Amino acid sequence: MAILVYAESAADGKYKKAAFEAVSYAKSIAAQSGDTVTAVAINASESSDSLYKYGADKVLKVSNDALKNFSPNAYAKVLSDLKDGDTIVLPATNDASSFAPLLALKTDATLVTNLISAPENVSPFTAERRAFSGKGIEKVEVSEGAKVLTVLQNAFGLKENPSSGTEETANVSVSEADSKVKVVKVEQASTDKIDLKEAEIVVSGGRGLKGPENWGMIEELASLLGAATASSKPVADIGWRPHSEHVGQTGKAIAPKLYIAIGISGAIQHLAGVNSSKTIVVINSDAEAPFFKAADYGIVGDAFEIVPKLIEEVKKFKGA
Amino acid sequence: MKILVCISSVPDTTAKINFTGDGKAFDKNGVQFVINPHDEFSLTRAVQLQETQGAKVTVLTVGDATVEPVMRKALAIGADDAIRVNADARDGLFVATQIAKVAKEGGYDLVLTGRESIDYNGGEVPGFVAGILDYAFVNGCVGLNVDGNAVEAVREIDGGKETISAQFPVVIAGQKGLVDETELRIPNMRGIMAARTKPLNVVEAEQTSSKLNVVGYTKPAERGNVTLIDKDNVGELVRLLHEEAKVI
Ligand SMILES: Cc1cc2nc3c(=O)[nH]c(=O)nc-3n(C[C@H](O)[C@H](O)[C@H](O)COP(=O)(O)OP(=O)(O)OC[C@H]3O[C@@H](n4cnc5c(N)ncnc54)[C@H](O)[C@@H]3O)c2cc1C
Ligand SMILES: Nc1ncnc2c1ncn2[C@@H]1O[C@H](COP(=O)(O)O)[C@@H](O)[C@H]1O
């Protein structure tokens, strides 16, 4: 049987990193269960080779204008129609998380969301998921039957596992009516910005930066490092930065390899959204700031002095 | 227009999370409970629609009697009445089954929830409710207007926003941005007094079976001690990130 994986692509037709992580995760189940891995790509234009690299044995290509805009109902229908086994793996992106419950109902499957590590056992399926905003880890077990799984971004990670895959075109019958919702307007800013949830490195600023006019150095540092930018909640609330950059318990939860927090005190609600980062660097003028207790590296000092120096050092490093 | 706002009662965001000695359950000892922050945005939007368009707003929680103080807070903020489905909120599908039953029987046009509860972080309930009832569904909603039976909702997408239209009945999962932070309401004395006499009806739960078992809980590994770098030696940070942490 095949484990079905949703290989999510971005607006530009390229696969998201989350798609490769989901394929990697499916492959880790397949290695234990003896199943194969089939990736489903909806309106993607990138070559399937990148999916084979992470272990997809087959790629089912779906092209359909009725799926051009996302609709939870229609996407759930497509995956449900293509299923041919008892496991479906999805990335825990916004879109896939939205249709996961619908898909679980359609396929009479048990839903397990936000998985963070390879299953300890595949029968019964036993694995760990994120809970309590990262303050806890919950181990769950699906006693029997079909399951729909979502895999947290930047948690299980990418595992190369090349297969000699094949590609097929899949025909699905979906119509506008399956959507129930109609997208009437799309406002897309630049698509070349690095997605915060997918970013390997994140440079984040807090109220210590004093005002939106001071974000130039944050953006410069981020762009040198190939990083996304983020902010603490008050910074988004006062409108210095867009809401989409707010990280923490009530904003986005992220888990990059490197999180650099500049002028952020490290309140518990902030930490909840970033404490899964592999390495944390804190730059803060107050040696007593709670964030230092949750950091791997720290510099006590004025951000307006340190960040420009850091930019110079990164430039030297990159140039070397 | 009838709006059902589903509210989950969760540990205060500053709460330290501990588990019982056997690691089988969340230890509620000494923990304060609050309205799930995402649900507060949905509740506030519902109360605004009540004030501007005459909507009737009912809040619903699936939980035991200990959640009632949190429900009273929602009544104090402005909901008209409340329903508690008397049960332990076991898993997402169970909770959604209860919500779907109330939503259908009560003929609600809009079912508002939060994007996820900050305790178990399932993000499952709203999608399940929409799926069970076969209603239209908008997740992660950051803007909502209603005109007659037509709903216009805005949702965040990668690097932008998307405006969606749908017809009643609809399930909407809200988050920060649905209303402005400054529009969130703190119950005032009049609201608190009024909330005492507003109806809070308790109904019994529908039983369901589940194949999902919780094996146990652990806490994430603690981070080691911080390495402090002198502010006049910033280059050392870059070297450590490259050579020691291997992240750049
Ligand atoms: C229900 C609820 C949910 C919340 N959810 C979130 C959430 O999801 N995310 C979140 O971030 N917060 C959240 N908060 C808010 C949180 O409690 C803190 O208020 C917030 O994180 C503080 O933001 P900050 O660190 O940017 O600002 P501050 O606490 O004001 O800290 C600013 C820091 O900058 C430092 N600083 C000042 N000047 C300089 C300088 N020149 N150079 C270097 N450092 C300097 C200061 O020493 C200080 O540590 C939530 C709060 C509540 C009540
Ligand atoms: N026990 C509950 N009672 C009522 N609503 C709930 C309950 N649990 C979750 N919800 C709603 O469903 C949303 C998502 O929750 P969850 O799927 O648990 O992450 C929450 O923001 C609430 O609006």
Residue whose token pair is 């809980």: B217
Q: What is the mean pLDDT of chain A?
A: 96
Atom of ligand 2 nearest to the CA of B121: 19
Give per-residue pLDDT as tens, B150-194.
999 999 988 889 999 999 999 999 999 999 999 999 999 999 999
Q: Which of A179, A213, A248 represents a domain boundary (last residue)? A: A179
Instruction: Name the closest residue on chain A to residue B133, using Cα atoms.
Output: A102
* Span from the CA of B88 to the centroid of ligand 2 (angstroms): 13
Mean pLDDT in residue range A133-154: 96
* Burial category of B90 from C-beta neighbours within 10 Å (exposed 0-12, middle 13-18, buried 19 and up): middle
What CATH number should be reported for the domain holding residue A239?
Answer: 3.40.50.1220
Chain B closest-CA separation from residue A36 CA (Å): 24
Which of B35, B121, B223 is the best mutation test for A, with the most CBs of A within 10 A? B121
Residue A270 included in any domain: yes
Residues A149 and A28 in one domain: yes
Answer for the pair A179, A74: CB distance below 8 angstroms, yes or no: yes
Residues A29 and A163 in one domain: yes
Residues A105 and A241 in one domain: no
Task: Give contacts of B13 with chain A, Cβ < 8 Å.
Answer: 249-250, 268-269, 272
* Span from the CA of A269 to the centroid of ligand 1 (angstroms): 9
Residue A193 included in any domain: no
Residues A158 and A126 in one domain: yes
Residues A32 and A167 in one domain: yes
Give per-residue pLDDT as tens, B29-74.
999 999 999 999 999 999 999 999 999 999 999 999 999 999 999 9
Mean pLDDT in residue range B202-228: 95
Residue A185 included in any domain: no
Q: Please report the pLDDT score of residue B109 as a whole number.
A: 98
Residue A188 included in any domain: no
Out of B159, B161, B164, whose CB is closest to A182? B164
Residue B223 has pLDDT above 80, yes or no: yes
* Span from the CA of B97 to the centroid of ligand 2 (angstroms): 12
Predicted confidence band of residue B111 (pLDDT cuts 50, 70, 90):
very high
Mean pLDDT in residue range A295-302: 98
Q: What is the mean pLDDT of chain B?
A: 96
* Span from the CA of A19 to the centroid of ligand 1 (angstroms): 33
The Cα–Cα gap between B3 and B42 comes to 10
CB of A144 less than 8 A from some CB of B = yes
Residues 218-257 of A with CB under 8 A from B: 225, 237, 243-244, 246, 249-251, 257
Percentage of residues of chain B with pLDDT beyond 90: 96
Residues A174 and A205 in one domain: no
Q: Please report the pLDDT score of residue A19 as a whole number.
A: 98
Residue A250 included in any domain: yes
Give per-residue pLDDT as tens, A8-67.
999 899 999 999 999 999 999 999 999 999 999 999 999 999 999 999 999 999 999 999
Question: What is the count of structural domains for chain A?
Answer: 2
Mean pLDDT in residue range A206-229: 98
Single-letter residue type at B21: G
Q: Is beta strand B150-157 parallel, antiparallel or unpaired with respect to B160-167?
A: antiparallel
Residue ranges making up the domain that contains A149 = 2-179
Residues A126 and A208 in one domain: no
Which residue has a Cα nearest atom 9 of ligand 2? B8
Residue B138 has pLDDT above 90, yes or no: yes
Residues A29 and A168 in one domain: yes
Single-letter residue type at B238: V
Q: Please report the pLDDT score of residue A191 as a whole number.
A: 63
Which of A138, A142, A202, A245 is the best mutation test for B, with the most CBs of B within 10 A? A138
Residue A191 included in any domain: no
Residue A192 included in any domain: no
Q: Please report the pLDDT score of residue B174 as a whole number.
A: 98
Q: Please report the pLDDT score of residue A176 as a whole number.
A: 81
Residue B90 has pLDDT above 90, yes or no: no
Give the number of the ligand closest to the Cα of residue B186.
Answer: 1
Residues A174 and A206 in one domain: no
What CATH number should be reported for the domain holding residue A132?
Answer: 3.40.50.620
Residues 34-93 of A with CB under 8 A from B: 69-70, 72-73, 76
CB of A276 less than 8 A from some CB of B = yes
CA dihedral (B120, A151, A97, A198) positive or negative: positive
Q: Which helix (H) or strand (E) holds A125?
A: strand A125-131
Which residue has a Cα nearest atom 8 of ligand 1? A248
Give the number of the ligand closest to the Cα of residue A101.
Answer: 2
Answer for the pair B155, B174: CB distance below 8 angstroms, yes or no: no
Q: Do A132 and B139 touch (CB under 8 A)?
A: no
Residues A9 and A138 in one domain: yes
Q: Is the CB of B140 under 6 A from ligand 2?
A: no
Q: Please report the pLDDT score of residue B21 as a whole number.
A: 92
Residue A195 included in any domain: no
Percentage of residues of chain A with pLDDT beyond 70: 99
Residue A178 has pLDDT above 90, yes or no: no
Residues 6+ apart with CB under 8 A from B15: B31, B32
Residues A31 and A129 in one domain: yes
Q: Which of A114, A149, A179 represents a domain boundary (last residue)? A: A179
Residue A192 has pLDDT above 80, yes or no: no
Residues A155 and A216 in one domain: no
Chain A closest-CA separation from residue B185 CA (Å): 15
Q: Please report the pLDDT score of residue A188 as a whole number.
A: 83
Q: Which of A147, A179, A211 represents a domain boundary (last residue)? A: A179
Q: Please report the pLDDT score of residue B164 as a whole number.
A: 97
Instruction: Name the closest residue on chain B to residue A307, using Cα atoms.
Output: B234
The Cα–Cα gap between A165 and A51 comes to 8
Answer for the pair A301, A282: CB distance below 8 angstroms, yes or no: no
* Span from the CA of B93 to the centroid of ligand 1 (angstroms): 36
Mean pLDDT in residue range B218-243: 96
Residue B229 has pLDDT above 90, yes or no: yes
Answer for the pair A311, A224: CB distance below 8 angstroms, yes or no: yes
Q: Please report the pLDDT score of residue A320 as a whole number.
A: 73
The Cα–Cα gap between A90 and A95 comes to 10
